[in-house]
Amino acid sequence: CLVLICEPIPHPSNIEIPLDSKTFLSRHSLDMKFSYCDERITELMGYEPEELLGRSIYEYYHALDSDHLTKTHHDMFTKGQVTTGQYRMLAKRGGYVWV
């Protein structure tokens, strides 16, 4: 089981803006499908938690972040833990949110 704690952050070009402390928690199976997502994702990303259950997180990553996140996923299996850094996740209303 993989547990992700995600916090939307401003685009790196706007990093001088203080970061908001809003977070959402999600858990994923080894194939990166959502097995749990808390209700805060609705406010932050627009999805109802039930919409994400059973869906792969890879469906929501920005294409330009795919190589980095695939490597991070691989490293998790070889090292036991990783930090993903910042990446873009597709918001339900369109566009991407940095998390």
Long-range own/partner contacts, residues 44-52 (CB < 8 A, 24 or more apart): 44/8, 44/97, 45/8, 45/89, 45/91, 45/92, 45/97, 46/91, 46/92, 46/93, 47/92, 51/92, 52/26
Dist. CA 92–CA 29, nearest whole Å: 22
30-50 pLDDT, tens digit per residue, is 888 999 998 889 988 999 999
* Ranges of each domain in the chain: 2-98
Fold topology of 2-98 = Beta-Lactamase (3.30.450)
76-97 pLDDT, tens digit per residue, is 888 877 777 888 999 999 999 9
Query: Sorting pLDDT into bands at 50, 70 and 90, what band is 56?
Result: very high
